[in-house]
Amino acid sequence: MWPLHRADVEGRFFIGRSRRKDQCMQTTTLTAMRIGFIALTDCAPLIVAKEKGFFERHGLDVTLQREPSWANLRDKVALGALDAAHMLAPMPLAATLGAGGWKQQQITSFALNLNGNAVTISTRLWNRLADAEPALVQDRHEAGNALRRLIAADRKAGRPQLTFATVFNYSSHQIQLRYWLASAGIDPDRDVQLVIVPPPQMTDRLALGEIDGFCVGDPWNSLAVLRGVGRILITGYEIWNNRIEKVIGTNRDWVERNPLTHKQMLMALLEAAAWLDRPENRLEGVEIMAKPDYIGPEAVEAIRLGMLGMLRYGLDVSPEQIPDFFVFGRYSANFPWRSQADWYLTEMRRWKLIDPATDIAAVADCVYRTDLYREAAAALGKPFPLIDRKPEGLHAGPWTLAQASAPIPMGADLFFDGSYVSSARPVAHADVSTAAAPTDRTIAWEDVAGRDAVGSKSSG
């Protein structure tokens, strides 16, 4: 089993206000840092913090290093070749458990963004679905059921299974895709083939016919549509509104050795995220992201669509407005909600990606360091949540988080299937070893009593 010491959850870090001349602002020699990233739109806070001088303002000389895959990022952080990295929300959880690689206690104190990914299929598969299920496939909430019927017909006819790609076994995409497929009665372990493909290769693999669909972050969904090789079936936002997508991850021992540097990094990223969420800055953000060192100019139109809250589901349809397709700062987007870590871990356990005996709440508490986020936010005078967990799935529109240092405007948090997760007592699937039936509207959770309950509602 992995070592876990609850006493270690409490950090001992400097808290101060950036408005006065504290250590953060008195630095005369910049502290060097190496931070890794993958070429995705949601690495924007890192890029903007570098390009707009937020890192330098907080005493950091940051080298950004583009990596080809999530496995590369994970391993380089674990080995100390990188100080921190753009990570998938479940990655530091998996690393701490030793899932999919060697065990390395990692933490995150900062979510880089909410939303931003989608499930995209090839135009060939789309045409098959449109011919077989023309009514269902046009309804994004019913598209999974159309896919289930096609898979059943293929099985009966002896056709090969469809192949779907995600970016990493322990990724928000893998977990989200499994959840969506299962909700339609598709068993992701038996009814389709799941493979791993690095994000920048997704569109080419789809065009070559090597995969039939994928779940990845933008700009690669939008690029597949603009190239005429793909069609977006459903976005991650439509599956679960305002879910944490990416985080900044570090080794726990690095943070313990470098508490001030870590705090400076969080403060710079908080300012970069706020800059990105100002509408007047989004086009400049697109220009920055399209530089050759980051994503590249060939994806500029795909980056622009997502960053401006527009999404084109197919080449034959006009772009649609999804204002929250990328959320970088509003809705307390950067807070590492442990209720969302709980959900990721429980879905990982549901699909046998982690030990079934894993103490979900204890791991989430150890890895998602809300205390360190609060210290950085307080130093900037920004409001922060006073609770670590919140119910997920309650709000269809804007609401206000009152349990905060000052009231925080929040966004919708609905699941597409009507599921609800109480922060006090989540419910469990009757059988986590199989895909949920299409009518199953619960979430695969074990009982975790005594958490920061802020509401109650029966699941059903």
248 and 375 share a domain?
Answer: yes
Domain boundary among 338, 368, 386: 386
Q: How far apart are CA 108 and CA 373, in angstroms?
A: 9
169 and 214 share a domain?
Answer: yes
Residue 406 maps to a domain? no
Domain tally for the chain?
2
Q: Two tokens at 312?
A: 């084109």
Q: How far apart are the first and last CA of the chain?
A: 34
Cis bond leading into 385, ω under 30°?
no
Residue 98 maps to a domain? yes
Q: How far apart are CA 459 and CA 427, in angstroms?
A: 7
247 and 235 share a domain?
Answer: no
Tell me, what CATH number does 354's domain have?
3.40.190.10
Residue 132 maps to a domain? yes
Q: Two tokens at 370?
A: 């809300």
Question: What is the SS3 assignment for 246?
Answer: strand
Q: How far apart are CA 455 and CA 460, in angstroms?
A: 16
Q: Amino acid letter at 223?
A: L
Domain boundary among 386, 403, 436: 386
Q: How far apart are CA 17 and CA 237, in angstroms?
A: 35
Reading the chain (460 residues) residue by residue, the pLDDT tens digits are 333 333 333 333 333 333 333 443 434 467 999 999 999 999 999 999 999 999 999 999 999 999 999 999 999 999 999 999 999 999 999 999 999 877 999 999 999 999 999 999 999 999 999 999 988 888 888 999 999 999 999 999 999 999 999 999 999 999 999 999 999 999 999 999 999 999 999 999 999 999 999 999 999 999 999 999 999 999 999 999 999 999 999 999 999 999 999 999 999 999 999 999 999 999 999 999 999 999 999 999 999 999 999 999 999 999 999 999 999 999 999 999 999 999 999 999 999 999 999 999 999 999 999 999 999 999 999 999 999 999 999 999 999 999 999 999 999 999 999 887 766 444 344 333 333 333 322 222 222 222 332 232 222 2
Q: pLDDT value at position 411?
A: 98
Q: Whose CA is closest to 294, among 64, 21, 117?
A: 64
Q: Two tokens at 179?
A: 């959840």
> For the chain, give me the number of helices (H) and strands (E)?
19, 14
Residue 211 maps to a domain? yes
Residue 315 maps to a domain? no
Domain boundary among 343, 359, 386: 386
106 and 132 share a domain?
Answer: no
235 and 86 share a domain?
Answer: no
Residue 155 maps to a domain? yes
Neighbouring-strand partners of residue 121: 213, 231
Question: What is the SS3 assignment for 272?
Answer: helix
Q: pLDDT value at position 48?
A: 99
Q: pLDDT value at position 421?
A: 76
34 and 69 share a domain?
Answer: yes
Residue 438 maps to a domain? no
194 and 108 share a domain?
Answer: no
Q: pLDDT value at position 136?
A: 85
* Report field, pTM of the whole predicted structure over 0.75: yes
Angle between helices 259-276 and 370-379 (to 10 degrees): 70
What's the domain range around 336?
A: 6-114+243-277+327-386
347 and 269 share a domain?
Answer: yes
Torsion angles phi and psi, residue 383, rounded to 5: -70, 150
382 and 263 share a domain?
Answer: yes
362 and 251 share a domain?
Answer: yes
Residue 168 maps to a domain? yes
Q: pLDDT value at position 422?
A: 67
- Count, residues in the chain: 460
Q: Which residues contact 197 (CB under 8 A, 6 or more apart)?
A: 165, 166, 167, 205, 211, 214
Angle between helices 123-132 and 143-157 (to 10 degrees): 90
205 and 192 share a domain?
Answer: yes
CB-based burial label for 317 (10 Å; 0-12, 13-18, 19+): exposed
Alpha-carbon distances of 205 from 32, 198, 427, rounded to whole Å: 37, 10, 38
227 and 173 share a domain?
Answer: yes
Q: How far apart are CA 311 and CA 303, in angstroms?
A: 10
